[in-house]
Copies of this chain bind each other. A is one copy, B any other.
Amino acid sequence: MRHLIDFGDLPRQEWDSLYHRASEIIDAPEKFIDVCRGKVSANLFYEPSTRTNFSFQTAMLRLGGSVFGFADPNSSSVSKGETLKDTIKIVSNYADVIVMRTPWEGAAKAASLYSNVPVVNAGDGGHMHPTQTMADLTTITRLRGKVDDLSIGLCGDLKNGRTVHSLIKALAKFQNITFFLISPRELAVPDYVRTFMRENNMRFTEVTGLEAVMPQLDVLYMTRIQKERFVDPVEYERNKGIYVLTRRKLDRAKPDMLILHPLPRVDEITVDVDDDPRAVFFQQARFGMFARMALLEHLATQPRWEDRDLPPVEIGTKPVCTNPRCITQTQHYLPPLVKKIGGVDCCGFCDAALR
Protein backbone atom coordinates (compact mmCIF):
# COMPACT_ATOMS: atom_id res chain seq x y z
CA MET A 1 0.00 0.00 0.00
CA ARG A 2 1.51 3.33 -1.11
CA HIS A 3 -1.55 5.49 -0.36
CA LEU A 4 -5.01 5.03 1.18
CA ILE A 5 -7.49 6.59 -1.22
CA ASP A 6 -10.38 4.09 -1.24
CA PHE A 7 -10.96 1.31 1.28
CA GLY A 8 -12.08 -0.84 -1.65
CA ASP A 9 -8.48 -0.86 -2.95
CA LEU A 10 -7.31 -2.61 0.22
CA PRO A 11 -7.15 -6.41 -0.10
CA ARG A 12 -8.78 -8.25 2.83
CA GLN A 13 -5.38 -9.53 3.88
CA GLU A 14 -3.92 -6.04 4.15
CA TRP A 15 -6.89 -4.96 6.23
CA ASP A 16 -6.47 -7.97 8.51
CA SER A 17 -2.86 -7.04 9.00
CA LEU A 18 -3.74 -3.38 9.74
CA TYR A 19 -6.42 -4.48 12.20
CA HIS A 20 -3.96 -6.79 13.89
CA ARG A 21 -1.62 -3.85 14.39
CA ALA A 22 -4.44 -1.58 15.61
CA SER A 23 -5.34 -4.28 18.12
CA GLU A 24 -1.77 -4.45 19.42
CA ILE A 25 -1.81 -0.68 19.85
CA ILE A 26 -5.11 -0.83 21.77
CA ASP A 27 -3.63 -3.44 24.10
CA ALA A 28 -0.48 -1.47 24.88
CA PRO A 29 -0.41 2.04 23.40
CA GLU A 30 2.62 2.98 25.49
CA LYS A 31 4.77 0.63 23.38
CA PHE A 32 4.18 2.77 20.30
CA ILE A 33 5.02 6.27 21.56
CA ASP A 34 8.26 6.36 19.57
CA VAL A 35 7.55 4.52 16.32
CA CYS A 36 7.06 7.75 14.34
CA ARG A 37 9.69 9.79 16.17
CA GLY A 38 11.15 12.33 13.74
CA LYS A 39 8.25 11.86 11.30
CA VAL A 40 5.94 14.67 10.30
CA SER A 41 2.35 14.55 9.03
CA ALA A 42 0.86 17.31 6.86
CA ASN A 43 -2.85 17.60 7.61
CA LEU A 44 -4.39 19.58 4.76
CA PHE A 45 -8.04 20.22 5.56
CA TYR A 46 -9.54 22.16 2.66
CA GLU A 47 -12.84 22.03 4.54
CA PRO A 48 -13.20 21.97 8.31
CA SER A 49 -13.78 18.60 9.95
CA THR A 50 -12.74 18.95 13.54
CA ARG A 51 -13.31 15.37 14.69
CA THR A 52 -11.51 13.73 11.78
CA ASN A 53 -8.65 16.19 12.04
CA PHE A 54 -8.36 15.68 15.82
CA SER A 55 -8.34 11.92 15.34
CA PHE A 56 -5.54 12.03 12.76
CA GLN A 57 -3.56 14.58 14.78
CA THR A 58 -3.69 12.64 18.03
CA ALA A 59 -2.94 9.40 16.19
CA MET A 60 0.31 10.89 14.88
CA LEU A 61 1.18 12.59 18.18
CA ARG A 62 0.66 9.34 20.10
CA LEU A 63 3.17 7.65 17.78
CA GLY A 64 5.76 10.29 18.72
CA GLY A 65 5.40 12.08 15.38
CA SER A 66 4.36 15.65 14.80
CA VAL A 67 1.77 17.47 12.72
CA PHE A 68 1.46 20.70 10.77
CA GLY A 69 -1.07 21.96 8.24
CA PHE A 70 -4.29 23.92 8.12
CA ALA A 71 -7.76 23.25 9.47
CA ASP A 72 -9.56 25.46 6.98
CA PRO A 73 -8.01 26.89 3.84
CA ASN A 74 -9.67 30.29 4.30
CA SER A 75 -7.26 30.98 7.10
CA SER A 76 -4.34 30.09 4.83
CA SER A 77 -3.04 31.28 1.49
CA VAL A 78 -2.26 27.80 0.20
CA SER A 79 -4.84 27.58 -2.49
CA LYS A 80 -4.39 31.14 -3.78
CA GLY A 81 -3.60 30.85 -7.48
CA GLU A 82 -1.65 27.64 -6.94
CA THR A 83 -2.51 24.28 -8.46
CA LEU A 84 -3.15 21.24 -6.26
CA LYS A 85 -0.11 19.66 -7.93
CA ASP A 86 2.21 22.48 -6.81
CA THR A 87 0.83 22.43 -3.25
CA ILE A 88 1.40 18.68 -3.06
CA LYS A 89 4.91 18.89 -4.56
CA ILE A 90 5.86 21.53 -1.97
CA VAL A 91 4.17 19.89 1.01
CA SER A 92 5.58 16.46 0.15
CA ASN A 93 9.02 18.06 0.39
CA TYR A 94 8.27 18.95 4.01
CA ALA A 95 6.19 16.00 5.25
CA ASP A 96 6.47 12.22 5.58
CA VAL A 97 2.75 11.62 5.01
CA ILE A 98 -0.11 13.80 3.77
CA VAL A 99 -3.62 13.55 5.24
CA MET A 100 -6.10 15.48 3.17
CA ARG A 101 -9.75 16.40 3.36
CA THR A 102 -11.37 18.23 0.47
CA PRO A 103 -14.79 19.12 -0.89
CA TRP A 104 -13.63 17.95 -4.36
CA GLU A 105 -14.23 14.33 -5.33
CA GLY A 106 -11.11 12.51 -6.48
CA ALA A 107 -8.71 15.09 -4.99
CA ALA A 108 -6.80 12.57 -2.88
CA LYS A 109 -6.29 10.36 -5.94
CA ALA A 110 -5.05 13.39 -7.89
CA ALA A 111 -2.64 14.31 -5.08
CA SER A 112 -1.26 10.77 -4.98
CA LEU A 113 -0.03 11.09 -8.59
CA TYR A 114 2.45 13.83 -7.66
CA SER A 115 3.28 13.21 -4.02
CA ASN A 116 6.71 12.06 -2.88
CA VAL A 117 5.11 10.66 0.28
CA PRO A 118 1.97 8.58 1.01
CA VAL A 119 -1.41 10.30 0.78
CA VAL A 120 -4.36 9.43 3.03
CA ASN A 121 -7.87 10.35 1.94
CA ALA A 122 -9.61 11.87 4.98
CA GLY A 123 -12.78 12.47 2.94
CA ASP A 124 -13.09 13.82 -0.61
CA GLY A 125 -16.54 15.38 -0.93
CA GLY A 126 -19.35 12.84 -1.09
CA HIS A 127 -16.99 10.25 -2.56
CA MET A 128 -14.92 8.28 -0.02
CA HIS A 129 -13.91 8.35 3.64
CA PRO A 130 -11.91 5.14 4.09
CA THR A 131 -10.61 5.76 7.61
CA GLN A 132 -14.16 6.13 8.97
CA THR A 133 -14.72 2.62 7.64
CA MET A 134 -11.52 1.53 9.40
CA ALA A 135 -12.94 2.95 12.65
CA ASP A 136 -16.24 1.09 12.13
CA LEU A 137 -14.62 -2.26 11.34
CA THR A 138 -12.12 -1.95 14.18
CA THR A 139 -14.94 -1.31 16.65
CA ILE A 140 -17.00 -4.30 15.48
CA THR A 141 -14.04 -6.67 15.29
CA ARG A 142 -12.62 -5.62 18.62
CA LEU A 143 -15.93 -5.86 20.50
CA ARG A 144 -17.47 -8.86 18.70
CA GLY A 145 -14.31 -10.77 17.77
CA LYS A 146 -15.12 -10.71 14.05
CA VAL A 147 -17.24 -9.04 11.38
CA ASP A 148 -18.28 -12.21 9.53
CA ASP A 149 -21.62 -13.92 10.29
CA LEU A 150 -23.27 -10.86 11.87
CA SER A 151 -26.67 -9.23 11.33
CA ILE A 152 -26.05 -5.55 10.70
CA GLY A 153 -28.74 -2.87 10.62
CA LEU A 154 -27.98 0.42 8.88
CA CYS A 155 -30.50 3.05 9.91
CA GLY A 156 -31.34 6.60 8.86
CA ASP A 157 -30.46 8.49 5.72
CA LEU A 158 -29.04 5.72 3.53
CA LYS A 159 -29.28 7.80 0.38
CA ASN A 160 -26.84 10.60 1.15
CA GLY A 161 -24.54 9.03 3.74
CA ARG A 162 -21.09 8.33 2.28
CA THR A 163 -20.17 6.63 5.55
CA VAL A 164 -22.84 4.02 4.94
CA HIS A 165 -21.89 3.52 1.29
CA SER A 166 -18.22 3.08 2.18
CA LEU A 167 -19.11 0.63 4.93
CA ILE A 168 -21.34 -1.47 2.65
CA LYS A 169 -18.59 -1.63 0.03
CA ALA A 170 -16.08 -2.66 2.66
CA LEU A 171 -18.35 -5.33 4.14
CA ALA A 172 -18.36 -7.09 0.74
CA LYS A 173 -14.92 -8.34 1.79
CA PHE A 174 -16.48 -10.27 4.71
CA GLN A 175 -18.50 -13.50 4.86
CA ASN A 176 -22.11 -14.28 5.64
CA ILE A 177 -23.41 -10.90 6.74
CA THR A 178 -27.16 -10.20 6.88
CA PHE A 179 -28.08 -6.58 6.21
CA PHE A 180 -31.14 -4.66 7.28
CA LEU A 181 -31.38 -1.36 5.44
CA ILE A 182 -33.69 0.77 7.60
CA SER A 183 -34.79 4.09 6.11
CA PRO A 184 -37.75 6.10 4.88
CA ARG A 185 -38.51 5.17 1.26
CA GLU A 186 -37.21 8.50 -0.05
CA LEU A 187 -33.89 8.10 1.76
CA ALA A 188 -33.23 4.47 0.72
CA VAL A 189 -29.83 3.40 -0.64
CA PRO A 190 -29.12 4.54 -4.23
CA ASP A 191 -29.61 2.05 -7.06
CA TYR A 192 -25.90 1.58 -7.63
CA VAL A 193 -25.46 0.42 -4.04
CA ARG A 194 -28.33 -2.05 -4.43
CA THR A 195 -26.74 -3.33 -7.66
CA PHE A 196 -23.38 -3.60 -5.93
CA MET A 197 -24.88 -5.66 -3.10
CA ARG A 198 -26.63 -8.04 -5.52
CA GLU A 199 -23.50 -8.47 -7.63
CA ASN A 200 -21.55 -9.35 -4.50
CA ASN A 201 -24.22 -11.75 -3.22
CA MET A 202 -24.79 -9.69 -0.11
CA ARG A 203 -27.99 -10.68 1.73
CA PHE A 204 -30.15 -7.63 2.48
CA THR A 205 -33.68 -6.58 3.41
CA GLU A 206 -35.00 -3.06 3.05
CA VAL A 207 -37.45 -1.94 5.71
CA THR A 208 -38.92 1.35 6.89
CA GLY A 209 -39.33 0.51 10.59
CA LEU A 210 -36.56 0.15 13.14
CA GLU A 211 -38.37 -1.55 16.02
CA ALA A 212 -39.58 -4.64 14.12
CA VAL A 213 -36.05 -5.71 13.16
CA MET A 214 -34.35 -4.64 16.39
CA PRO A 215 -34.37 -8.13 18.02
CA GLN A 216 -32.41 -9.61 15.10
CA LEU A 217 -29.52 -7.15 15.05
CA ASP A 218 -25.96 -7.73 16.24
CA VAL A 219 -24.92 -4.27 15.14
CA LEU A 220 -27.09 -1.17 14.74
CA TYR A 221 -25.37 1.56 12.74
CA MET A 222 -27.23 4.84 13.24
CA THR A 223 -26.80 7.91 11.03
CA ARG A 224 -28.07 11.46 11.04
CA ILE A 225 -31.39 12.03 9.35
CA GLN A 226 -31.95 15.66 8.50
CA LYS A 227 -35.25 17.44 8.07
CA GLU A 228 -33.99 19.26 4.97
CA ARG A 229 -33.40 15.97 3.17
CA PHE A 230 -37.15 15.39 2.93
CA VAL A 231 -38.91 16.75 -0.14
CA ASP A 232 -42.27 16.62 1.63
CA PRO A 233 -42.45 18.17 5.12
CA VAL A 234 -45.53 16.04 5.89
CA GLU A 235 -43.45 12.96 5.16
CA TYR A 236 -40.82 14.28 7.59
CA GLU A 237 -43.34 14.84 10.36
CA ARG A 238 -44.68 11.32 9.86
CA ASN A 239 -41.19 9.77 9.94
CA LYS A 240 -39.14 11.77 12.38
CA GLY A 241 -39.82 9.84 15.56
CA ILE A 242 -39.34 6.43 13.93
CA TYR A 243 -35.58 6.75 13.61
CA VAL A 244 -34.82 8.24 17.00
CA LEU A 245 -33.15 5.59 19.11
CA THR A 246 -34.34 5.73 22.73
CA ARG A 247 -33.59 3.65 25.79
CA ARG A 248 -37.07 2.15 25.60
CA LYS A 249 -36.58 0.86 22.05
CA LEU A 250 -33.48 -0.97 23.21
CA ASP A 251 -35.60 -3.21 25.45
CA ARG A 252 -36.15 -5.57 22.54
CA ALA A 253 -32.52 -5.55 21.34
CA LYS A 254 -30.03 -8.33 22.01
CA PRO A 255 -28.04 -7.79 25.22
CA ASP A 256 -24.77 -7.73 23.29
CA MET A 257 -25.89 -5.64 20.32
CA LEU A 258 -23.52 -2.81 19.41
CA ILE A 259 -24.82 0.70 18.67
CA LEU A 260 -22.47 2.58 16.32
CA HIS A 261 -22.67 6.11 14.96
CA PRO A 262 -20.07 8.03 12.93
CA LEU A 263 -20.75 11.19 15.00
CA PRO A 264 -21.57 13.99 15.43
CA ARG A 265 -25.07 13.01 16.42
CA VAL A 266 -27.82 15.56 16.49
CA ASP A 267 -30.93 14.04 18.02
CA GLU A 268 -31.20 10.59 16.44
CA ILE A 269 -29.97 8.94 19.66
CA THR A 270 -31.38 10.28 22.92
CA VAL A 271 -28.98 11.07 25.74
CA ASP A 272 -30.44 8.34 28.00
CA VAL A 273 -29.01 5.71 25.62
CA ASP A 274 -25.44 6.85 26.36
CA ASP A 275 -25.17 4.96 29.64
CA ASP A 276 -26.36 1.67 28.11
CA PRO A 277 -23.37 -0.66 27.73
CA ARG A 278 -24.47 -1.37 24.14
CA ALA A 279 -23.86 2.29 23.21
CA VAL A 280 -20.29 2.13 21.88
CA PHE A 281 -20.26 5.19 19.63
CA PHE A 282 -17.83 7.13 21.84
CA GLN A 283 -15.53 4.09 22.08
CA GLN A 284 -15.82 3.91 18.30
CA ALA A 285 -14.16 7.36 18.12
CA ARG A 286 -11.36 6.02 20.30
CA PHE A 287 -10.95 2.89 18.18
CA GLY A 288 -10.85 5.18 15.13
CA MET A 289 -7.81 6.93 16.59
CA PHE A 290 -6.08 3.61 17.20
CA ALA A 291 -6.88 2.40 13.66
CA ARG A 292 -5.39 5.62 12.27
CA MET A 293 -2.29 5.02 14.40
CA ALA A 294 -1.83 1.63 12.70
CA LEU A 295 -2.28 3.26 9.30
CA LEU A 296 0.06 6.19 9.92
CA GLU A 297 2.74 3.97 11.39
CA HIS A 298 2.62 1.86 8.23
CA LEU A 299 2.69 4.81 5.83
CA ALA A 300 4.87 7.43 7.53
CA THR A 301 7.79 5.10 8.13
CA GLN A 302 8.23 4.23 4.44
CA PRO A 303 11.29 5.74 2.77
CA ARG A 304 10.54 8.90 0.82
CA TRP A 305 10.26 8.50 -2.95
CA GLU A 306 12.53 10.61 -5.12
CA ASP A 307 11.00 12.18 -8.23
CA ARG A 308 12.70 9.54 -10.38
CA ASP A 309 10.82 6.80 -8.45
CA LEU A 310 7.41 8.26 -9.28
CA PRO A 311 5.61 6.88 -12.35
CA PRO A 312 5.43 9.49 -15.13
CA VAL A 313 2.11 11.32 -15.37
CA GLU A 314 0.55 12.37 -18.66
CA ILE A 315 -0.35 16.07 -18.89
CA GLY A 316 -4.06 16.61 -19.57
CA THR A 317 -5.71 19.59 -21.14
CA LYS A 318 -9.37 19.32 -20.21
CA PRO A 319 -11.61 17.15 -18.02
CA VAL A 320 -13.07 13.95 -19.46
CA CYS A 321 -15.50 13.71 -16.54
CA THR A 322 -18.70 15.77 -16.29
CA ASN A 323 -19.24 15.43 -12.53
CA PRO A 324 -19.25 19.10 -11.42
CA ARG A 325 -17.70 18.18 -8.06
CA CYS A 326 -14.84 16.21 -9.61
CA ILE A 327 -11.31 17.55 -9.03
CA THR A 328 -10.66 17.40 -12.80
CA GLN A 329 -13.08 20.29 -13.36
CA THR A 330 -10.59 22.81 -11.97
CA GLN A 331 -7.23 21.05 -12.36
CA HIS A 332 -6.96 20.74 -16.13
CA TYR A 333 -3.42 19.38 -16.21
CA LEU A 334 -4.63 16.11 -14.62
CA PRO A 335 -4.29 13.06 -16.88
CA PRO A 336 -7.48 11.68 -18.51
CA LEU A 337 -7.73 8.59 -16.27
CA VAL A 338 -10.57 6.15 -17.01
CA LYS A 339 -11.44 2.89 -15.25
CA LYS A 340 -14.10 0.21 -15.70
CA ILE A 341 -16.61 -0.24 -12.88
CA GLY A 342 -19.08 -3.07 -13.53
CA GLY A 343 -18.30 -2.85 -17.26
CA VAL A 344 -18.95 0.91 -17.41
CA ASP A 345 -16.32 3.56 -18.23
CA CYS A 346 -15.87 5.71 -15.14
CA CYS A 347 -13.69 8.66 -14.11
CA GLY A 348 -10.40 7.48 -12.64
CA PHE A 349 -10.61 10.16 -9.96
CA CYS A 350 -14.22 10.46 -8.76
CA ASP A 351 -15.62 7.10 -10.07
CA ALA A 352 -18.56 8.86 -11.80
CA ALA A 353 -19.78 7.17 -14.97
CA LEU A 354 -18.51 8.94 -18.11
CA ARG A 355 -21.06 9.98 -20.71
**Chain A residues at the B interface, C-beta cutoff of 8 Å:** 30, 33, 37-38, 40, 42, 48-51, 54-55, 57-58, 61-62, 64, 66-72, 75-78, 80-83, 85-86, 89-91, 93-95, 263-266, 271-272, 274-275, 282-283, 285-286, 289, 307, 312, 315, 333
23 A-B Cβ contacts within 8 A? A38-B62, A38-B64, A40-B58, A42-B54, A49-B77, A50-B70, A50-B78, A54-B69, A57-B68, A61-B66, A75-B75, A81-B264, A82-B264, A86-B263, A86-B265, A89-B274, A89-B285, A90-B282, A90-B285, A93-B282, A94-B286, A94-B289, A271-B333
Q: How far is the CA of A81 from the CA of B265 in the complex (A)?
A: 8
Q: Which chain B positions have C-beta within 8 A of A333?
A: 271
Return A90 CB to nearest CB of chain B, in Å: 5
Q: Which chain B positions have C-beta within 8 A of A37?
A: 33
* Contact A93-B50, Cβ < 8 Å, known A38-B64, A68-B57: no
**B271–A85 touching, CB < 8 Å:** yes
Q: Which chain B positions have C-beta within 8 A of A283?
A: 93
Q: What is the chain B residue whose CB lies nearest that of A48? A: B77
Copies in the complex: 3
Q: What is the chain B residue whose CB lies nearest that of A279? A: B307
Q: What is the chain B residue whose CB lies nearest that of A57? A: B68
Q: How far is the CA of A86 from the CA of B265 in the complex (A)?
A: 8
Q: How far is the CA of A333 from the CA of B273 in the complex (A)?
A: 13
Q: How far is the CA of A58 from the CA of B77 in the complex (A)?
A: 17
Q: Which chain B positions have C-beta within 8 A of A315?
A: 271-272
* Contact A94-B33, Cβ < 8 Å, known A264-B80, A275-B312: no
**B89–A76 touching, CB < 8 Å:** no
Cβ-closest 5 pairs across A and B? A33-B38, A93-B286, A58-B94, A82-B264, A61-B66
Return A246 CB to nearest CB of chain B, in Å: 12
Q: How far is the CA of A315 from the CA of B273 in the complex (A)?
A: 11
**B50–A77 touching, CB < 8 Å:** yes
Q: Which chain B positions have C-beta within 8 A of A57?
A: 68
Return A245 CB to nearest CB of chain B, in Å: 15
Return A342 CB to nearest CB of chain B, in Å: 33
Q: By CB atoms of chain B within 10 A, which of A62, A68, A83, A289 has the most?
A: A68
**A71–B76 touching, CB < 8 Å:** yes
Q: Which chain B positions have C-beta within 8 A of A72?
A: 75-76
**A282–B89 touching, CB < 8 Å:** yes
**A93–B62 touching, CB < 8 Å:** no
Q: How far is the CA of A272 from the CA of B85 in the complex (A)?
A: 12
Return A128 CB to nearest CB of chain B, in Å: 20
**B75–A62 touching, CB < 8 Å:** no
Return A17 CB to nearest CB of chain B, in Å: 24
**A55–B94 touching, CB < 8 Å:** yes
Q: Which chain B positions have C-beta within 8 A of A286?
A: 93-94
Q: Which chain B positions have C-beta within 8 A of A274?
A: 89
Return A12 CB to nearest CB of chain B, in Å: 28
Q: How far is the CA of A69 from the CA of B283 in the complex (A)?
A: 20
